[in-house]
Structure 1
Amino acid sequence: MALTMKVEGADALKSDIFHLKKRFERFNKQGVSIGYIEAKSLKRKGTPVTNLKIATWQTYGTHTIPPRPYLKPALLTNEKRIHEILEQALVDEGLSGKTGAVNKALNVVGMLVRDTAKQNIVDQRNFVPLAPATIAARKRQDFKGTKALIRTGALLNAIQYVVDKK
């Protein structure tokens, strides 16, 4: 038994491409946001400074804080895996009709990047160590930790993801 495909002219091919394009069009409206997204992840107890503001300072640095990025490296570390996950989901849902495959894949990607970002903070991956003055100030406040970005855990615990269904 042979598998054959017969294309009868350009109009038939155009029609197939049009229907395939329509089928995949809805996926342009989906995505995943990872970081400090909702109001509950932005607020910090007892201070007007938000997690988003602190994350920005830590990512890009300030005149007194060296850059310690953790979100973008989490995305870049997993880039190949993310492409594989999303590619398979598009095939599963777009071509095979497996409903919900893209949404499930976006949740997997969100968890993967979020968890890697948190691990980057815990492991201090490529972070500049805290300055001796910062460590001394922490000790004066009875805090013995010497890891950057982990004083209260608020910044670490506030990282989240949301699958966008636009």
Structure 2
Amino acid sequence: MSMKITKDDVSKVLASIQDLANKQVLVGIPASKAEREEGDEEPINNAQLGYIHEYGSPKANIPARPFLNPGIARTQESINNHLKKAAKAAMDGNSEKVDVELNATGLIAQAGARNEINSGTFEALAPATLAARRRRGRTGDKPLIDTGQLRNSITYVIREKD
């Protein structure tokens, strides 16, 4: 039995696999989205605020209200499905499909973290925090949601691994 090769896509497939292996999807609050809006009284940016809420700050008497890691964890099955599709696309030599699947992965993880802020169960706000919100004209009592800037700053990037 003989085999005749009519098209050699090995180099294309290898390049696509290497391209996928060199990329990573990062979800969070990157520096380009960290700044708060003009006129905010907050002396810190969204990335710092997100870290404080994710892990808490005992010194400032702020309990941990994790949203990023749990939000991504809740979407893990869907994320894994898109990563599998990206790997299959790489094996097929389809770099464009790899990028589509990596972007889908990022969007799903981003939405998961944002949704966790909207619907997660968190320790209630302190009476002093609620009073400070009322002084600023805010009536909401949901932790992590005051202006919506923190939630809206959560995004994803696809970048080359270092």
Name the TM-score class by shorter chain: 0.7 to 0.9
1:105 aligned residue (93, 101, 112)? 101
C-alpha displacement at 1:99, in angstroms? 3.2
1:74 aligned residue (71, 74, 85)? 71
C-alpha displacement at 1:104, in angstroms? 0.8
Contact between 1:93 and 1:100, CA under 8 Å: does it hold in 2? no
> Does residue 160 of structure 1 match 2:162?
no
C-alpha displacement at 1:55, in angstroms? 0.4
Moved over 6 A (4+): 19-22
> Does residue 50 of structure 1 match 2:45?
yes
Partner of 2:6: none
Q: Identical aligned pairs, as a percentage?
A: 31
Partner of 1:34: 27
Q: How many residues align?
A: 150
1:127 aligned residue (122, 127, 131)? 122
TM-score (norm 2): 0.80
Between structure 1 and structure 2, the one with the greater Rg is 1
> Does residue 65 of structure 1 match 2:57?
no
Partner of 1:100: helix, strand, or coil? helix
Partner of 2:30: helix, strand, or coil? coil
Change (3 A) 1:48 1:134: closer
> Does residue 25 of structure 1 match 2:21?
no
Change (3 A) 1:38 1:83: same
Superposition CA RMSD, Å: 2.6
- Tell me the amino acid that sits aligned with residue 27 of structure 1: L
Structure 1: 5+ residue stretches without partners: 7-18
Partner of 2:95: helix, strand, or coil? coil
- 1:65-93 alpha-carbon deviations (Å, 9 max, x no partner): 11111111122112222122111221123
Structure 2: 5+ residue stretches without partners: 4-11
Partner of 2:139: 144
